[in-house]
Amino acid sequence: MKAAIQNYHARMQRILEYIDLHLDDDLNLDVLSSVAAFSKFHFHRQFLATFGLSFHRYFQLARMKRASYQLAYRYAQSVTDIAMDAGYDAPDAFARAFRQRFGQSPSSFRKSPDWEAWRAAFGPLDNARSKLMQRTFTPDDVTIREVASTPVAIMEHRGDPAMIGATIRSFITWRKATGLTPKTSPTFNVFHSDPHATPRSEYRMDLCVGTNQLLEPDDGLVKAGVIPGGRCAVLHVVGYTDNLEPAVLYLYRDWLPASGEETRDFPIYCQRLSFFPEVPEHEAVAELFLPLK
């Protein structure tokens, strides 16, 4: 019975991954039901029963999430192009749908996003994905590496984790101005705080880019620092890397006690290896580094 359930869930998982890969296509009941070899006469009810929303709404939310990322972080794309990518024939239809979901026009969101409304709008999408995407890791997923010290430029986020999007926007703008793109310079996040154990106003996370470039002393936006070298337990994470909490929990709750290792005095951090929306969300890659003695 357990094997049958796992097989059923794997077929459903294939559907979500297929949707992520084909956000530019006109997906319909026939296409999606055939991906997992379900009858089209029952597929709609199966999807709704499994994920808590219809596949039409899931598809619309996934498209709209990509559009919101493009608006917030990819300034070179016009609103018209983003609307077309999201499946709308005209910018005004896209603007109406966007305003209905986020309470802002696309242009207003691009200028000054309301991140609280943004997070609330994607609650159903996050809940749907969490139904089958409970991450399971094993000791084989963890390697111990000797990591070299990395000079970095640091932009600090201090305060409500829900507002991290605003800091990311500033970070991207600064990187573009300095030419330190993700293709040429590694990207790191250093997690100083546990969001579940820290008051929202006191949350701390650093956005970092690896660079030997001298920083202007009066820049004000970033400061120079170093991610220290040494032994690290490294967990490779693929897919939906905007939430690394399950991977962090595995390292602390399961891997560390069983390993006999001791942590050293530097926070857990990650390196972002590929990014949504440049790749589909289930193909985004990050590596978590737990510093060891």
**Residue 36 confidence class, pLDDT cut points 50, 70, 90:** confident
Write out the DSSP string of 61-107. HHHHHHHHHHHHH-TTS-HHHHHHHTT-SSHHHHHHHHHHHHSS-HH
pLDDT for position 218: 54
Domain stops at, among 130, 151, 182? 130
pLDDT digits (tens, 9 = 90+) for 79-113: 999 999 898 988 999 999 999 999 999 999 999 99
pLDDT value of residue 134:
62
Mean pLDDT of 51-64: 93
Instruction: Report percent pLDDT > 90 for the chain.
Output: 71
Hey, what amino acid is at 251? L
Q: What is the mean pLDDT of residues 66-76?
A: 91
User: pLDDT-based confidence at 221, cuts 50/70/90?
Assistant: confident
pLDDT at 249: 92
Q: Are 257 and 148 found together in one domain? A: yes
pLDDT level of residue 250 (50, 70, 90 thresholds): very high
Rounded to 5 degrees, what are φ and ψ at 264? -110, 175
Angle at the Cα of 87 from the Cα atoms of 81 and 93, rounded to 5 degrees: 80
CATH for 225: 3.20.80.10
Question: Both 23 and 115 in a single domain?
Answer: yes
User: Which of 113, 130, 147 is the last residue in one of the domains?
Assistant: 130
pLDDT at 219 over 90: no
Proportion of the chain above pLDDT 70, given as a percent: 97
Are 275 and 177 found together in one domain? yes
Same domain (yes/no): 156, 113: no
Same domain, 168 and 265: yes
Residue 109 and residue 171 share a domain: no
62 closest CA partner among 37, 25, 30 = 25
257 and 150, same structural domain?
Answer: yes
pTM here is 0.86
Q: Give the best-scoring range by mean pLDDT among 8-12, 159-163, 184-188, 221-225.
A: 184-188
Query: Are 154 and 126 part of one and the same domain?
Result: no
In three-state secondary structure terms, 53 is: coil
Q: Which of 141, 138, 147 is nearest to 292 (CA)?
A: 147
Edge-to-edge strands, sheet with 223-227: 142-147, 230-238, 285-291, 269-274, 187-191, 204-210, 150-158, 223-227
Region of poorest pLDDT, from 70-79, 140-149, 215-224: 215-224
Supply the CATH number for residue 11's domain: 1.10.10.60
Report DSSP state, residue 266.
S
Same domain, 169 and 276: yes
As a whole number, mean pLDDT of residues 149-164 equals: 94
- State which residues form the domain around 274: 139-291
Residues 216 and 266 in one domain: yes
Q: What is the pLDDT of residue 130?
A: 83
156 against 243, higher pLDDT: 156
Q: Give me the number of domains the chain comprises.
A: 2
Mean pLDDT, range 196-207, rounded to an integer: 92
Burial of 10 (0-12, 13-18, 19+ CB in 10 A): exposed
The whole-number average pLDDT for the span 145-160 is: 95
Stated as kind and residue range, the H or E segment containing 290 is strand 285-291
